[in-house]
Amino acid sequence: MRTLVIGSGGREHALVYGLSLDPSVSEVHAAPGNAGIAELATCHPLSVTSAEDTVALAKDIGAELVVIGPEVPLVAGVSDALRAAGFAVFGPSQAAAALEGSKAFAKEVMAAAGVPTARAQQLLPGDEDVDAALDNFGPTYVVKDDGLAGGKGVVVTADRDAARAHAEAVLAAGNPVLLESFLDGPEVSLFCLVDHGTVVPLLPAQDHKRAYDNDEGPNTGGMGAYTPLPWLPAGGVERIVAEIAEPVAAEMVRRGTPYQGLLYVGAAWGAEGPQVVEFNARFGDPETQAVLMLLESPLGEVLGAVARGTLAEQPPLRWRDGYAATVVVAAENYPAAPRTGDAITGEGLSEPTAVLHAGTARDDAGRLVSAGGRVLCAMGAADTLADALAQAYENADAISLDGSFTRRDIGARAVAGDITV
C-alpha cells in the first residue's frame, strides 16, 4: 500500500514512522514533510491548503491511502477533493471538520446530542459590549477565538482586563469570539477513530499547553504529553466514549455529515464527570507522538479501515504495556515569534524512538536547522511513567539548539500522585 501523509510536524513524523513499520505499507510519501520525515519517506513540496495540488500529487504517486495530519487542509476541504477523485482518505469532510473549525458549531452539535460541556456565549465582530458579556462569566474567564488558532487562540485567566483585551483583539481581526464558563478538573485527551457510527478509542493522554513550568506563560500548541493516565478512574475511557464521542458521531450521521477520521475529545474531568473542553478533527500534537509509541496494531491497516469504512470489521487494537512520554524542545521566543535557522546537533536525531522532528529543515549546506516554534519531540517509553519521562528528558538534554527550552515538569504531578478526580 502506497501512503501519503500530509503535514510537516511532529505528529506527521510519528504517523510516518508508524506507517513505515507496517508490513502492508510498501511506500511512504509525505508533503511537505520535514528533515526527520525525509529520512523515512519521500517528501514532496506542497501547499497543504491547495486541494488541486494535493489531488495532483496523490495521482502522481498512485497513493492508495492519504492521511491528513493538520486541521487547516481539513477545514479547507482538501479531504473532499481527494475523495471526489477516488482516493481513500483518513480525515473528515470539510463539513464534519467544522467540529474543530467552528467552536460555535461544536456547541450546537453537543447541545443536540446531549453532550456535557461548558456554558458558552458567542460574540460577533461589531458587538460592542464585551464587558456586559464578561459579566456572565468568571471569576476565571475562558475566551476563545472561534476559528482555527493552532492551539494558541484560547486565554484562560482570572484577569478580567486580559480577558477583555483578548476578546477585543479577536473581534477587531474580524473573527467571532466564544466566552465559556471555566471547567474545573484535570484534562484528558482521548483520540477516537470514528467511522460513521463506529467509535474506537485509543489510549488516553494528557497534554501540557502552557509554555513554562507550573502551567505559567501563554498557551502553546503543546509542550509535552504522556500516556496512559494513572489517575483516570476505571472505566473512564468507556465513559468518555459513551457520553461524548458516540453521541456526537450519531448526531453527525443524523445531520447527513457523517464523521470519518480521528475525533479528538478534549475533556475536563470534574465533580460531575467528563465535560468537553474542545474537539479537534485530527490527531492532537504532541499527544500523538506518545500514543502511537505504544500502538502494536499495524497503523496503515487501522487508518485504512477508517478511510474505507470498514472500522467495525477490524480486530481490537493491540497496545504495548507501560507508558510513553514526549517532551517538546522549543525554539527561543516560542510561541510569540520563535527564532529559526539555528543549527541542531546531538544524539538521537535520526532515531524516531528517541527524537521526532517537528520544525526542522536542512539549510543550503545540509545542516539540520530549526524551522518552527516546536522544533523537536524527545521521546521515552518504559514500564513506569517516571522512567518514561526520565528517558524523554535524557533524550531532550542530549540535543543542542541555541536558545531552546523545554518544560521540566511534564507528567510530574501524575508521577507524584497529585492529580485526583
CATH code of residue 381 = 3.30.470.20
Q: According to the model, what pLDDT value does residue 151 have? A: 57
pLDDT tens digits for range 323-370: 999 999 999 999 999 999 999 999 999 999 999 999 999 999 999 999
Q: Are residues 195 and 163 in the same domain?
A: no
pLDDT tens digits for range 401-418: 999 999 999 999 999 999
Parent domain of 52: 2-93
pLDDT tens digits for range 374-394: 999 999 999 999 999 999 999
CB atoms within 10 A of CB 128: 8
Query: Quick one: pLDDT band at residue 161, thresholds 50, 70, 90?
Result: very high
In a domain, 59, yes or no: yes
In a domain, 89, yes or no: yes
Residue 149 has pLDDT above 70, yes or no: no
Write the CA distances from 93 to 167, 244, 322, 326, integer angstroms: 29, 20, 35, 30
Residue 257 has pLDDT above 70, yes or no: yes
Query: 145 vs 98, which has greater pLDDT?
Result: 98
Lowest-pLDDT range of 132-136, 283-287, 313-317, 394-398: 132-136
In a domain, 106, yes or no: no
Average pLDDT over residues 308-318: 98
Q: Are residues 385 and 326 in the same domain?
A: yes
In a domain, 76, yes or no: yes
Q: Are residues 245 and 169 in the same domain?
A: no
Q: Are residues 17 and 139 in the same domain?
A: no
∠ CA(399), CA(402), CA(405), 5° rounding? 70
Q: Which of 44, 59, 93 is the last residue of a domain?
A: 93
pLDDT tens digits for range 91-131: 999 999 999 998 889 999 999 999 999 888 889 898 768 98
Q: According to the model, what pLDDT value does residue 323 have? A: 98
Q: Are residues 167 and 193 in the same domain?
A: no
Q: How many domains does the chain have?
A: 3
Share of the chain above pLDDT 70, in %: 98
Q: Are residues 217 and 165 in the same domain?
A: no
Q: Are residues 249 and 156 in the same domain?
A: no
Query: Quick one: pLDDT band at residue 148, thresholds 50, 70, 90?
Result: low
Q: According to the model, what pLDDT value does residue 248 have? A: 98
CA distance 265 to 249: 12
Q: Are residues 172 and 199 in the same domain?
A: no
In a domain, 285, yes or no: yes
In a domain, 110, yes or no: no
